Structure 1
Amino acid sequence: MGKLLLFRFVGASIYLSVAFLMGCSSQEKSQTAQPLASVPVVSLSAGQVTTYHDYPASIEAVANVQIRPQVNGYIDRVFVDEGAFVRKGQTLFKINELPYREQLNAAIAGMHFAEASVINAQIEADKLKPLVENKVISDYQLKIADATLQMAKARLEQSQTAIASAKINLGYTTIEAPVNGYIGRLAKKQGTLVGPSDPAPLTELSDVSQLHVYFSLSEQDFINFKAQYPGNSLGEKIRQVPEVDLVLSDESIFIQKGKVDMFDGQFDKNTGSITVRASFRNQQGLLRSGNTGKVRLGLSHRDAVLVPAAATIEIQDKVFVFALDKKNKLSRQAIRIAGKSGTSYLVKEGLKAGDRIVMSGIDHLQEGQTIQPEMLVTYNNPRSALK
């Protein structure tokens, strides 16, 4: 019995010793400082930045002309092909002119008849005049002769007008290009009967040497635009707007830059926006009327703060960064974005110049964590931002 008690006492002593040693070991480990994570950090600065906003736009030629016949007749010849470039005055179509040439000949014949009538009436009046002066006859007959002469002269003028009208109609049988441009589809072919009342034109002619690109600004964007540029009137402000880019449907930039040159007279009540026009030169005809794209309009920002896109994280449609306090303790900071490019965000709210944020590796960091900052630099991206 005594041996058993001794054995239990020795075992308990050994257990307590082991537990004490393990506790001391754990305490030593807890008392040993864990090394802080070394994380790249940037210090933000403010500067002037230009953001660019892309506005959906429609592209129209400076002139889109419907080519329509002004007289009835069959198309004798088509002198152009679809898509061809034509110059002002070049012949496009020829309508059968025979009926209109005969109308001209008839009008000329009517004029000759009217001329003969004038001569005959003049002779009659001249014959009666001395008889009246000598009181051989009364002046009544002379008055009738003078009236007949005036009627003959009026018929002559009518015949001359008929000739002019016939010449105009005859000229309409030759259809010429009113402007330089490109021919559209030819809806009517040779031998087709055409006339002014036809619902569809013969073709369309587009002068694309200059393009009018229309886009819309919201009321807020319009207010920002007016505040951006100096001038006492909208016209003066428009003249201060720098050249704009045309972004095509494949996201490429049109080779020519454009100029904003017109604001609509009023806002659209349905959309709450105002139409703006920018004009682009297109001498090579690379674009055609009906193309689509986007106008890239710039807006300058003073004292703007930029952050690297890699330093942000999006959670439920909100953008966050990890900011550092004076003790290098992390806090997740929500920011509002005013614009962005491929590498930077323009901060609207949430950060200011001088704030420090983590540059990269934010996926492995936690709220409240203390870090060891490295590569402490000032971040000021010189490139413009794209909204």
Structure 2
Amino acid sequence: MKVTSLLAGTLLLAGCAEQQAPQQAVAPPALPVAPVHTGTETTYQEYPASIEGVVNVEIRPQVTGVLERILVEEGAAVRKGQPLFRINDAPYREQLNNAVAAQQAAAGVVTSAQVEVDRYAPLVQNKVVSDVQLKTAQATLTVAQANLQRAKAAVRSARINLDYTTITAPVSGYLGRLQTKQGSLVGPTDAQALTQLSDVHEVHTYFALGEDDFITFRNQYAGRTLQEKLRRLPPVALVLSDQSTYPTRGKVDVVAGQFDRTTGSVTLRATFPNADGLLRSGNTGTIRLPLQHPNVLLVPAAATVELQDKVFVYAVGDSNRVSRHAITILGKSGANYLVGEGVKDGDRIVLQGVDHLQDNQIIKPTAPAAASAAPGKATASSTLY
């Protein structure tokens, strides 16, 4: 009985001691805080693009004959006027010889008819013969002269056909595959061209904008007409299929005259210099189109939290009490969001640790570390949502 009483007394004293110990208050979390500021930033919208040479031509024969020689290799760089193929010219050389002979015969007939006119002219003048014979001779001369002109045209045509037996490059550029083998019979009506030739000293890159993107594009730049706006558009970048960026910037210089009713988009063309021939017709890539955003706020992505498809930041108010604000995101610039609404220039926001904050919670603001100090300028890898 004494042991039980002693144990009960010990427990009672211990409980009283716990009740008398002071409760320690939880300190507010120390979190980095910085103000947001308004500025002008550039983001980039990316569009799939197809690449073509400034000139893409099919090389086709203009006369029928046997392909006697192929003078170039597939993929070769050729100059304008350089011979590419040679068709057997024997039939066309004979046609030229025949045409020249016919021209000479026609010239002889003209000479003979002229002699007759010259013979009858004085006789008519002296009234030795009637003028009917002179008129007949003059008509014969006119017909002979017309036949001579026809013969000369036949010679020129035969010479042109003979020249066509040597097929030359219409422009400088790079050849495609050689589709026809030596010894084949070729002609102008063949379904398949001999090869293709691309002039790629410059390349045209085609991409399409939807209606909304086109309206945004049109409103971004000053100018009354689209041509004036294009002149003010900064150079654009081309990202190749391996995700590398083409070293030279291009210029958007053409907007198609109408929207495609099937796709609801309009085609734009950007031209890039290609002196080294790195780009070829048929390549694909991505155009990065710059878009200016004046008077926009930058908020670090690390300072946001997503809840129920909305993005929030925690603004620091009086007494260091935070309040949660939904923001409208226009795009992304490096590690920062471009914000249209939700915060104002000069508002202080929590930069880190927002995942564990609650609305109306009190914090202890601290200066941000150098690496995460307040949002700055956009980086070159900016992308637009």
User: Is TM more than 0.5 here?
Assistant: yes
Q: Distance in 1 between matches of 2:84 and 2:306?
A: 61
Aligned partner letter, 2:374: Y
Q: How many residues align?
A: 379
Per the TM alignment, residue 61 of structure 1 is displaced from its structure 2 partner at its CA by: 0.7
Q: Distance in 1 between matches of 2:115 and 2:41?
A: 92
**2:348 — aligned with what?**
356
Q: Distance in 1 between matches of 2:209 and 2:173?
A: 31
Partners of 1:44 and 1:355 within 8 A in 2: yes
Q: Distance in 1 between matches of 2:56 and 2:292?
A: 36
SS in structure 1 opposite 2:245?
coil
**1:308 — aligned with what?**
300
Q: Distance in 2 between matches of 1:164 and 1:177?
A: 22
Residues 145-165 of structure 1: per-residue CA shift (max 9 Å, x gap): 221111111111110000000
Q: Distance in 1 between matches of 2:34 and 2:360?
A: 18
Aligned partner letter, 2:100: I
**1:55 — aligned with what?**
47
Give the TM-score normalised by structure 2.
Answer: 0.90
Superposed, 1:152-301 pairs within 5 Å as: 152-301=144-293
Superposed, 1:1-150 pairs within 5 Å as: 18-25=14-21, 28-29=22-23, 32-150=24-142
Structure with greater Cα Rg? 1
Q: Distance in 2 between matches of 1:284 and 1:168?
A: 36
Partners of 2:205 and 2:271 within 8 A in 1: yes
Structure 2 residue runs of 5 or longer lacking an equivalent are none
Does 38-47 or 192-201 show the bigger shift?
38-47
Partners of 1:49 and 1:300 within 8 A in 2: yes
Q: Distance in 2 between matches of 1:306 and 1:182?
A: 48
Partners of 1:125 and 1:142 within 8 A in 2: yes
Structure 1 residue runs of 5 or longer lacking an equivalent are none
Per the TM alignment, residue 144 of structure 1 is displaced from its structure 2 partner at its CA by: 1.9
Does 192-201 or 260-269 show the bigger shift?
260-269
Q: Distance in 2 between matches of 1:23 and 1:139?
A: 153
Per the TM alignment, residue 279 of structure 1 is displaced from its structure 2 partner at its CA by: 0.9
Q: Distance in 1 between matches of 2:106 and 2:232?
A: 66
Partners of 2:368 and 2:374 within 8 A in 1: no
Partners of 1:46 and 1:380 within 8 A in 2: no
Aligned partner letter, 1:297: L
- Whether 1:381 aligns to 2:380 is no
Q: Distance in 1 between matches of 2:36 and 2:182?
A: 72
Q: Distance in 2 between matches of 1:341 and 1:252?
A: 19
Q: Distance in 2 between matches of 1:280 and 1:316?
A: 44
Aligned partner letter, 1:347: V
Q: Distance in 1 between matches of 2:307 and 2:57?
A: 53
Residues 233-267 of structure 1: per-residue CA shift (max 9 Å, x gap): 22222211111111112221111111121122222
Residues 22-54 of structure 1: per-residue CA shift (max 9 Å, x gap): 4444xx32xx21122222222211112111111
SS in structure 1 opposite 2:156?
helix
2:321 paired residue among 321, 329, 344? 329
Per the TM alignment, residue 352 of structure 1 is displaced from its structure 2 partner at its CA by: 2.1
Q: Distance in 1 between matches of 2:288 and 2:58?
A: 31
Per the TM alignment, residue 376 of structure 1 is displaced from its structure 2 partner at its CA by: 5.0
Q: Distance in 2 between matches of 1:353 and 1:131?
A: 111
Q: Distance in 1 between matches of 2:368 and 2:117?
A: 115
Q: Distance in 1 between matches of 2:261 and 2:131?
A: 76
Partners of 1:304 and 1:347 within 8 A in 2: yes
Aligned partner letter, 1:220: D
Q: Distance in 2 between matches of 1:261 and 1:155?
A: 54
Per the TM alignment, residue 373 of structure 1 is displaced from its structure 2 partner at its CA by: 1.8
SS in structure 2 opposite 1:379?
coil
Per the TM alignment, residue 358 of structure 1 is displaced from its structure 2 partner at its CA by: 2.3
Per the TM alignment, residue 216 of structure 1 is displaced from its structure 2 partner at its CA by: 2.0
Q: Distance in 1 between matches of 2:334 and 2:375?
A: 15
Partners of 1:42 and 1:376 within 8 A in 2: yes
SS in structure 2 opposite 1:136?
coil
Q: Distance in 2 between matches of 1:41 and 1:196?
A: 76
State the identity %: 53
314 and 81 in structure 1: CA distance in 2 versus 1, 3 angstrom threshold? farther
Partners of 1:245 and 1:257 within 8 A in 2: yes
Aligned partner letter, 1:374: T
Q: Distance in 1 between matches of 2:4 and 2:168?
A: 123
SS in structure 2 opposite 1:70?
coil
Root-mean-square deviation over aligned CA pairs: 2.4
Aligned partner letter, 2:332: K
